[in-house]
Amino acid sequence: MHWEVLKTEKCSRWQYKKIVKKFITEEEAKSYKNSIQGYSELYFVSNK
């Protein structure tokens, strides 16, 4: 189980790239999410 932050970055006028970073703890993921600019989403990923 881990946390992921999905960050959407604008590359050009019409294109976006998505960057996913994985974190072990929720605190690490939230502090990273708060430190970046632009649109981002926080997910909890469980390995089932």
Task: Return all residues near 44 (Cβ < 8 A) that are at least 6 apart.
Answer: 1, 3, 26
Distances (CA, A) of 8 to 1, 15, 20: 23, 10, 9
Distance CA 45, CA 35 (A): 21
Using one digit for the tens of pLDDT, what is the confidence trace for 1-48?
A: 899 999 988 888 888 889 999 999 999 999 999 999 888 999 999 876
Residue-range domain boundaries for the chain? 2-45
What is the per-residue pLDDT for 28? 97
pLDDT of res. 13: 86
